[in-house]
Chains A and B, each alone.
Chain A
Amino acid sequence: MILRTVARLMLPILLLFSIFLLLRGGDLPGGGFAGGLVAAAAITLQMVADDAAAARRLLGVEPQALLPMGLGLALVSAALPLIWGQPLMTSRFVHLALPGGAGFELGLPTLFDLGVYLVVLGVALLVILSLAEEEE
């Protein structure tokens, strides 16, 4: 009961943290890989507290569906420069200003990193959930 409550409280924090890691990866430790792992840990925590079915409900999509999404996103971000005649994986950036003077650089590598994030999340959850269900 305690674990379940804590897990529920932790979930939004962990997920926010994972996105925070993803976005700050450009300048500070973090990035898609770490972010994906944190997100996977967040969902896995629900699995430990409740069961695999609850974790699946929380995720909303099949974990294996995340793989083509992530790979596709990474591939698109890699191939996009071809459209404007630049070599594969040439990066481009826009500066995204946030209210209050803050802001961050958003570019194709960020999109690429989001692809990594999704693949890592998908792989980790696919393995963990499959094994856990096998156990049940």
Chain B
Amino acid sequence: MAALPLAFAGLLVSWAPAVLAGERRGMSIAWVPSLDVSLSFSLDALSLLFSLLVTGIGALVILYSIAYMEGERGLGRYYASLALFMLAMLGVVTAANLLTLFVFWELTSISSYLLISFRHEEKESQESALTALLITGAGGLALLVGAILLRQVYGTSDLGGILAQPGLLRGHPYYGWVLGLVLLAAFTKSAQAPFHIWLPRAMVAPTPVSAYLHSATMVKAGLYLLLRLSPVLGGTAGWQGALLSIGTLSMLLGAWRALRQRDLKAILAYTTISVLGMAVALLGLAVEQAVVAALVLIVAHALYKGALFLVAGAIDHATGTRDVAALGGLALRMPVLAAFAALAAGSMAGVPLTFGFLAKEAVYASVEAWPAADLQAGAVILFLVAANACNVAAGIVLGYRVFFGAGRPQAAKPRQPSWLMLLPAGVLGGISWLLGLVPGMLDGVVASALAAALPESHGVRLQAWHGLTWPLALSAATWTVGGALYGLWPRLLRLPPWPSALSVSKAYDGFVHQALPGLAVRVTRAFQNGSLRNYLLTILLVAVLVVGGALSASGLWAVPVLSQEGYTWPEVAMAVLLLAAALAAAVARTRLGAIVALGAVGSLVTLVYVRFSAPDLALTQLLIESLGVILLLLVFHFLPPEFGEVASKRRRGADVAVAALVGLVMGTLVLVANGVQLAPSVAEYYVAQSLPLAHGRNVVNAIVADFRGFDTLGEITVLASAALGLRALLRLRGKGRGGRR
């Protein structure tokens, strides 16, 4: 199973020279040609970079899972969901059409849901999976609306076509909407405040899933979207303000909260939020160096955070706990794991010659290039140093304290992790150092990816060591503060918790568990109150309001409604009899009388159909009438023979008024509809085509079974569901009675 993503990664690498030379590899399958929606994919450098992360880390995670998930139930489901996610994520980063991108974007949310709820018997898994699905799903809907608006502006949803005219959107009145919706999608997916709460909760997923989806790849989809659309959306004050503020907020919030956690995976989750926020803020700076820094940061983070998650999983697997306070001195028991963890944690803390160091230097250097007031730049620097210092402290906790710290001695001898479980973390940690030493390997792909996000860029030269520059001074400050924070760490853990008024998590739970169900209960009580009379009144009044409103708004009242043709006496007689029968049905005192009167109405309507040569309708009406009488008789068996008195004269009066109003509006509607011709009649088409196309002379039947067969399919489905519903209700009633006996 791991061979497939590995082979794919190899294929991507073999394509890389051509892609970096500017060649586009792609394919397109027509999907809904009538709406110009196609499943189209294209591979450029930006896609290549993300695809390599998805397939490479995917292969390692699958190898790791073989050891980690051994003996679990539902492994088929696990690997199937993982493969689905990999496919979906590749679809997101290679989509060449906005709607294709949306479909795969949603697929990543769904596969993430399936993986978070892998242990679906547990309440916590269900809740966490639902939180992630609701938040990222809402973002997905925002993306859909944004994509539709973009399509309105550009006349196409093809990304190539949209990116070819980058300036068009910025001057368009839709710009604000598109920006807001796309940012909503990106921020929910990349766990930015205040939508970040799903990510720490998602940690109930099996650890390989956390490593893969919730740190290395899926949460980067939001960043990918921002990078991809930045030529169209970026460069405005709105873009800059939103990205800088939300990114900085998430960066600081995640960094601070990370230091308050005792669970290894929770620490990793909050630092992930922090790094994602940093990348978002960098994209907000919108200068070339900042975009390069964001790209480097994304790669560096995917490598070291993926590795550290895998290490955390191995520790959990070996010792049975992820509580940092209960862990310590593991290096003696598991030296190889300790070495691999140190590799990755070194990159996280930004030790020189690691890729993480390079990322941090690039981040600091980019602020230098940012043309802003000193005060603003100073504030951004301060925030970046603070967040990075927290990351350093967390790195020390993960890479040093757990393995070398003086923790409590382990009660039981830990199980030795197998090589399959160790190697993936070692590979990722090793690459973190390899890239830190020879970062020039990435020059080409980062430069081309940069060009995709920022068309007027100049190329990239990544260096392992920049000399004694002021970013290095900032790095030194970061290590100092980080070291101090690590010293204070035991005290930080004991600080009082976050005030609950500020907790997004509590607000979310309140909304989902109390406000929303409460509203549902109130709405249900208001409308589903069990009174047939109220149901009827609601339906009829709404119909009158909508139809009557539309009629009066259109001014069609004025159309001369009654045709001037004469009426023959049988027609007049039928009309009079119909009226009399209907009136009799309404005033009948007994139910039997009402049935008889209704039967008379039905038979008279049949006569009307016969008179106006609609034999099909007449036949059907007659049959329905016969079966209807039987049905009514059966139903009336359960009801008293006489109608009960309606409570008051006033209610009766109101009923009569509503009935009259409904009759008036619907009657007018029929007459108006008959008198107005808005479009050429379809009747002639059906009559003319019935025999040649539908091979039948019966036009009505040709319409029902052929021309408008789709309607009929819907109708019989409704009919069948209604009958099943009635059957279920009757059974329920029987059961309730049986229970009482």
State the A residues within 8 Å of B (CB). 21, 25-34, 37-38, 40-41, 44, 48, 64, 67, 70-71, 74-75, 78, 88-89, 91, 93, 105, 107, 109-110, 112-113, 115-116, 119-120, 122-124, 126-128, 130-132, 134-135
Contact = CB atoms under 8 A, between A and B. Distances in A.
B696 A105 contact: yes
B173 interface: no
B696 A48 contact: no
A64 B727 contact: yes
B634 A128 contact: yes
Contacts of B630: 44, 48, 128
Interface in B681-721: 693-698, 700-702, 704-706, 709-710, 712-713, 716-717, 719-720
Interface in B632-648: 634-635, 637-638
B726 A130 contact: yes
Chain A interface mostly helix, strand, loop or mixed? helix
Contact of A44 (B624, B627, B723, B734): B627
Contact of A105 (B618, B695, B716): B695
A28 to B, nearest CB: 6
Given A37-B620, A116-B712, A135-B637, A126 B723 contact: yes
A133 B561 CA distance: 49
Nearest to B697: A27
B695 A93 contact: yes
B534 interface: no
B482 to A, nearest CB: 62
Contacts of A40: 627
A31 B616 contact: yes
A63 to B, nearest CB: 8
A78 B713 contact: yes
B12 to A, nearest CB: 34
Interface residues of B, number: 43
Chain B interface mostly helix, strand, loop or mixed? helix
Given A89-B710, A116-B712, A122-B723, A127 B631 contact: yes
Interface of B: 615-616, 618-620, 623-624, 626-627, 630-631, 634-635, 637-638, 693-698, 700-702, 704-706, 709-710, 712-713, 716-717, 719-720, 722-724, 726-727, 730, 733-734
B730 A116 contact: no
Contacts of B717: 71
Contacts of B698: 25-31
A120 B719 contact: yes
Nearest to A135: B637
Contacts of A107: 695
Given A26-B701, A28-B697, A91-B694, 4 more contacts: A29-B700, A38-B623, A48-B630, A70-B716
Contacts of A119: 716, 719-720
B378 to A, nearest CB: 64
A120 B696 CA distance: 22
A109 to B, nearest CB: 4
